[in-house]
Amino acid sequence: HLFSKKKKSSVTEQDRAVLQLKTTRDKIRQYQKRSEKQMEKDRELAKLLIQAHKKERAKLLLRKKRFIEGQLQKTDGQLENVERMIQDLEFAQIEIKVVDSLKAGNESLKEINKLLSIEDIERILDETQEGAEKQQEISALLCGFAADAGISDDDLERELAALIEPGIADQLPDTPADAAVEQLPDVPQQLPDVSQDEPEDAEAEPKSAKKVRERVALEAS
């Protein structure tokens, strides 16, 4: 029995009314076309009857043509009324669909508002703020623990000095002249005596040592 049940038709009474009006409109148009063709035939036949000197019969055809013309004028008014009614019904159907859509949207909005109340939103925002503050506290504690882990600046300086290789010292900039003068030893007041036993060649002081003595004496003066 389940399969024998017919599905509920989606055609409304308004749809049936519109369909009936359109059918009537089409019939009126068909009647107008047939009437126009008939009037044209009667006109041509009346011409032939006049040529055949049958005026009475020609008058009958012309009277018939006038009657059809009057009927066509009536059908024009009927057709205008039918088309206006069709347009009104179709527009009313659109309005009904718009109203139904607004109702459905309003109901959906109410359901959403029930799910997202003001209290729930405020609670979620408060929980989010509390979570962010707690995370900041945890980060601050972790940073403080790292700072107090027994690592001092002196230890870091010593480790840094140990990393400096001897070759790096050669790449350092030259010491200024004033600092070099301050580090030079005091100039001796007397020259050392030369032993008599030394050969005469020893009396000739090496040129390099002599230049050093002269430079030191000039800087001291």
Report, as an integer, the average pLDDT of 152-173. Answer: 68
Q: What is the pLDDT of residues 93-138, one digit of tens each?
A: 999 999 999 999 999 988 888 887 788 788 888 899 888 888 888 8
CB neighbours of residue 171 within 10 Å: 6
Where are the domains positioned within the chain?
13-115
From residue 166, how far is each of 161, 162, 169, 179, 183 by CA, in Å? 10, 10, 5, 21, 21
The span from the CA of 46 to the CA of 54, in Å, is 9
Q: With b meaning 16 or more CB within 10 Å and e meaning fewer, what string describes 207-220?
A: eeeeeeeeeeeeee
Q: Name the CATH topology of 13-115.
A: Helix Hairpins (1.10.287)
- The pLDDT of residue 191: 53
Residue 129 identity (one-letter amino acid): Q
Confidence band for 23, pLDDT divided at 50, 70 and 90: very high
The span from the CA of 51 to the CA of 44, in Å, is 11
Of all residues in the chain, the percent with pLDDT exceeding 90 is 31
- The pLDDT of residue 154: 78
Q: What is the pLDDT of residues 80-93, one digit of tens each?
A: 999 999 999 999 99
Confidence band for 204, pLDDT divided at 50, 70 and 90: very low
Question: Which residues, including other chains, have CB under 8 Å from residue 63's CB and lie 6 or more apart?
Answer: none
Average pLDDT over the chain, rounded to an integer: 77
Nearest CA-CA partner of 12 in 102, 103, 90, 101: 90
Report, as an integer, the average pLDDT of 192-201. Answer: 50
More confident residue, 156 or 187: 156
- The pLDDT of residue 35: 92
Q: What is the pLDDT of residues 43-64, one digit of tens each?
A: 899 899 888 888 898 899 889 9
Residue 187 has pLDDT above 80, yes or no: no
**pTM for the model:** 0.45
